[in-house]
Structure 1
C-alpha cells in the first residue's frame, strides 16, 4: 500500500530533523544514508527515495537549518525599529542562539562554512548564498543606522558588518571549542562597545 502524501511529508521531515542534528555536530559530509536509515529504522532506499542523492539531502538540510536560523535570529528582530535598534536585536538574538546551542554543534552555518569554504559545488554555493543573505540583512540595518546618524560619524557599514560577523563567529568558537561560559557575556560587551547602548 502506498503511503499518503501526509505520511511521506512526515517521513521527509523526520529525516531532515535528524540530518540537521547530525550535520550540525559532525558536518554535512558526516551524513550517510546508512546511518540515517539505521537511526530512523528505515531502509536505505526509503531514505534516499525522499531526496535522490546525498547532495540533494545536504541541500535540503541547509534549507531546513536556514529556516531554524531565521526563526531564532531574524524573526525576533522584525518588530524592532529598523536601523540601530534592529541591529542590536539581531546581535542579541544571534548571541542567544549560540548560548542556547539551538544546534547541537553550535552555529550550523559557521560549521558548514569551514567544511565547504575550500570546495566547489552546489553545497558550497548554497552556504555562500545563505551567508550572503545574512550579511545583506546586517548591512541593510547598519546602513540605516549610519544614515540616521545613530553610529559614530564616518562609520563604514561594510566594516561594521565584517566586525560583527567576526565577533559572532568567535563567540561560536569560544562556546563550542573552549566551552567558555563567559563567551556570551563577552560577546554582549563587545557588541555594546561597537554599537553603543
Structure 2
C-alpha cells in the first residue's frame, strides 16, 4: 500500500512524456523501449504498467485529455455562460497551442490526423475526445444564443465548426511554417466572426479587429 503513491507518480511521469512524444511523432512513435531509455527506467518495469503498446497508447490519450481539461476547458468554464465564455474557450485553446503545452502543438490535432481512418480502440478513444470537445464548443455557443448574446438565427453547430477551424488552422500553420503570427490571425478571425453574430459586438473581450 505504501508504494502506490510513488508508483502512480511514476506512471503519470511516463504518460506525460508519452504524450509529449505523441504530439510531435504520433502515437505510433511510442514504444516501451523508447520511453524506458528517455526516462531511465527498465523496459520490464515500464511494461508492467501497461502490458502492451495499445494500452500505453490508450493511457496516453487519457492523460492528454486530462491536461486538455486543465489547460483549456476548466478555465473557460470558470467564466459565466455567454459570449465571454465562448471567447475564453477559443482564446484558451490558442494559448494552450501557442505555449506548446505539448511540444507538437495540440496533442489531439496530431493524433486525430494519425488515426482518423484507422479502426480500433485507439481511434475510438481519440474520436470520443474530439466529439466531446465539439459538443462543448457547440453547447457553449448555444448557451450564448439562448442568453440573447448571439443572434437568434445563429446555428450553434455551424458557428462551432467555423471557430474550431480557425483554431486548428493556427495550430497547423504555426507548426508547419514556424509562424507565430498564425495565432494573432486566428484571434482576429474568431473576434470578427463572433462580433458578426453578437447582439452587442462591444460586449466581446479584446480589441476591435478593425482597429
Q: 1:156 to 1:56 in 2, by over 3 A?
A: same
Residue 3 of structure 1, CA deviation: 8.3
Deviates more, 1:6-15 or 1:73-82: 6-15
**1:17 and 2:16 aligned:** yes
- Give the TM-score taking structure 1 as reference length: 0.95
Runs of 4+ in 1 over 2 A off after TM superposition: none
Give secondary structure in 2 for the equivalent of 1:50: helix
Aligned residue in 2 for 1:27: 26
Aligned residue in 2 for 1:113: 112
Give secondary structure in 1 for the equivalent of 2:78: coil
Aligned residue in 2 for 1:152: 151
Aligned residue in 2 for 1:47: 46
In 2, Cα distance between equivalents of 1:102 and 1:41: 23
Q: How far does the alpha carbon of each residue in 1:110-156 deviate from its partner, in whole angstroms, 9 at most, with x for none?
A: 00100000100011000111011111111111111122232234111
Instruction: Tell me how large the CA RMSD over aligned residues is.
Output: 1.5
Residue 42 of structure 1, CA deviation: 1.9
- Give the TM-score taking structure 2 as reference length: 0.89
Aligned residue in 2 for 1:190: 189
In 1, Cα distance between equivalents of 2:143 and 2:14: 40
Q: What count of residue pairs does the alignment treat as equivalent?
A: 196
Deviates more, 1:79-88 or 1:107-116: 79-88
**1:95 and 2:94 aligned:** yes
Structure 2 unaligned segments of length 5 or more: list them: 196-203, 205-211
Aligned residue in 2 for 1:131: 130
Q: 1:24 to 1:3 in 2, by over 3 A?
A: farther
